[in-house]
Structure 1
Amino acid sequence: MKPNCAHLFVYGTLLDTGNHYGAYLQQHCTLLKSGKLEGRLYDAGEYPGAIIDTNTNQYVHGSIYLMDEPKKILAFIDDYEGFGDDQEQPNLFIRKLSTIETDTETIECWVYIYNLPVDDLLWIRSGRYKLQ
């Protein structure tokens, strides 16, 4: 995996162009294709949270973007996702490189993974977040 990866997998509120951060992604990224992450998706209230789980044969569905300036874009999105040393600890999400499956290949992407307990959250069994 490449720490300087330019791909970002998005599965939740960042898909909403009415969201300031989602609109930012649309301006600074190129949508490549749909993909899926092996794991589970939970409803955390105003947003979803994905966790990686390779033992359930469940998937989180979303979109893969190519970022034009990865460092700049990731720093901007880190703030939105509550990730970083300057954010509340433990971080709400962590950013990690993960393998995303597409219809024709796998692509290494940055993805924000939910970092808090999911015991009391509703599991979104379809793996697809529906924007309100």
Structure 2
Amino acid sequence: MTYNPDFLIVYGTLRPPFDNTFSQYLRQRGRYVGEGSFTGQSFDMGSYPGAVYQSGSQSLVHGSVFDISNQKAAILTYLDYYEGVGEGFEQPTEYIRAVVPVQFNDQTTDCWIYLYNLSTDDKPLIESGDYSIHIGKPFSWPA
């Protein structure tokens, strides 16, 4: 696995059709490179999703992949704040930033991702693995 990849996959409120300040920031500084998926499950947290990575799982989580190489440190620092990731937040944090293998553009590439870090026992599973479909706002690009 690449320790510090140049790609980021987003599967929730950072992905179109969402248009919050943080999703706008990502679209302005990163370069959208396609749709991707990784093995795992996605859960409905109420007004946003949480995903867990599961190597070898039969289920997939779908998201949008961005090349963030141009401003990687700035983008990740800004999104860490949005996701509540890092030492400045009460531990354990709701999300962690990790690297997972992602299928996109007919290849597998390591990508940064924000994974859910707490129990999902009482959370509804998003059967499709796609939060935008789950909430009735299917993904479209450009945003």
Cα-Cα RMSD:
1.4
Deviation at 1:80, TM superposition (A): 0.6
Structure 2 unaligned regions, length at least 5: 138-143
Amino acid at match of 1:40: Q
TM-score w.r.t. structure 1 length?
A: 0.94
Question: Any idea what the Cα deviations from partners look like across 1:69-128, whole Å, max 9, x if unmatched?
Answer: 111110000011111000121011001111001241011100010001000000001000
Three-state SS of the structure 2 residue aligned to 1:122 is coil
Alignment of 1:103-122 (within 5 A): 103-122=105-124
Question: Which residue in the other structure is 1:15 paired with?
Answer: 15
Structure 1 unaligned regions, length at least 5: none
Question: Which residue in the other structure is 2:100 paired with?
Answer: 98
Alignment of 1:51-130 (within 5 A): 51-67=52-68, 68-130=70-132
Three-state SS of the structure 2 residue aligned to 1:117 is coil
Question: Any idea what the Cα deviations from partners look like across 1:49-88, whole Å, max 9, x if unmatched?
Answer: 0001234300000011001211111000001111100012
1 or 2, which has the higher strand percentage? 1
Deviation at 1:3, TM superposition (A): 3.0
Contact 2:31–2:67 (8 Å) recurs in 1: yes
Contact 2:42–2:49 (8 Å) recurs in 1: yes
Q: Partners of 2:76 and 2:105 in 1: how far apart? A: 26
Runs of 4+ in 1 over 4 A off after TM superposition: none
Q: Partners of 1:119 and 1:107 in 2: how far apart? A: 30
TM-score w.r.t. structure 2 length?
A: 0.87
Contact 1:4–1:70 (8 Å) recurs in 2: no
Contact 2:53–2:100 (8 Å) recurs in 1: no
Q: Partners of 2:2 and 2:26 in 1: how far apart? A: 21
Q: Tell me the percent identity.
A: 37
Paired residue total:
132
Question: Which residue in the other structure is 1:40 paired with?
Answer: 41
